[in-house]
Amino acid sequence: MKKSMGAKTLLMPTPVLVIGTYDAAGKPNVMTVAWGGICCSEPPCINISLRKATYTYENIIEKKAFTVHIAVEPYIKEADYFGIASGRSVDKFSATGLTPVKAEFVDAPYIKEFPLVFECALLHTIEIGLHTQFIGMIVDAKIDEEMIAANGFPDVEKMKPLAFAPSIRDYYSFGKVLGKAFRIGKQIQKL
């Protein structure tokens, strides 16, 4: 028997995404969001949602660019801190000792120490309600060489990305590999 929980954002997992931007004066800032993901394969696009009150919102409106990092276990405290503190009152790079690097193709900084980052150019801005959704075209994905697996893709075991359950606010590691998409369902197709 199903029980109504009301109109709640209990969807899971969400990714844990660290957004890099410059402000009008060129100060680098980073902020963590859980409302985001991939929204198009061609052109490859990432969507992120932000409240208007955030420093990052202003920066994206100003610069039309941002970076998106996958938060990983070795930097879980830093990633969480980036979602608590505001770039308006602190320099989050100084506070964490992490290193801002100018992105290659867009006017935004990325964190040198984070293993996987996407450089994004703003494509669409959608006003939804409390959150504004920014859709950015992925111009490039950059990865630490030692995080590339033999198959040429990011090595999930080594990189240790975070997953998030918004309801209970828990960060999770990835667990076991359960199967291949577009393959294990074929057993049903053949019935």
- 50-89 residues in contact with its own copies (CB under 8 A) are 68, 70, 73, 76-85
Minimum CB separation from its own copies for residue 24, in Å?
Answer: 25
**Among residues 17, 30, 31, 65, the one that binds its own copies under rule CB under 8 A:** 17
Q: How far apart are CA 92 and CA 29, in angstroms?
A: 7
Cα separation, 122 vs 17, in Å, equals 16
Q: How far is CA 95 from the centre of its chain?
A: 20
Structure tokens at 83: 């979602």
Contact predicate 33/55, CB 8 Å? no
Reported residue count of the chain is 191
Query: Which tokens in the block code for residue 46?
Result: 């990432």
Cβ 23 to its own copies shortest distance, Å: 20
Distances in Å between the Cα of 154 and the Cα atoms of 13, 44, 123 are 19, 17, 26
189 is a site residue for its own copies (CB under 8 A): yes
Candidates 24, 25, 128, 150; binder of its own copies (CB under 8 A) is 128
Instruction: Enter the tokens of residue 130.
Output: 């409390």
Q: Kindly tell me which residue out of 52, 62, 102, 126 binds its own copies, with binding defined by CB under 8 A.
A: 126
Q: Among 21-29, 37-45, 56-64, which window interacts with its own copies (CB under 8 A)?
A: 37-45
Dist. CA 79–CA 12, nearest whole Å: 19
CA distance 71 to 41: 22
Least distance in Å: CB of 71 to its own copies? 10
CB 150 within 8 Å of CB 101: no
Least spacing, CB of residue 92 vs its own copies, in Å: 9
The stretch among 18-26, 53-61, 160-168 that binds its own copies (CB under 8 A) is 160-168
Q: Which stretch binds its own copies (CB under 8 A): 18-26, 57-65, 111-119?
A: 111-119
Which of 24, 25, 150, 177 touches its own copies (CB under 8 A)?
177
* Site residue total, its own copies (CB under 8 A): 103
Q: Please, which of residues 90-109 interact with its own copies by CB under 8 A?
A: 95-96, 104
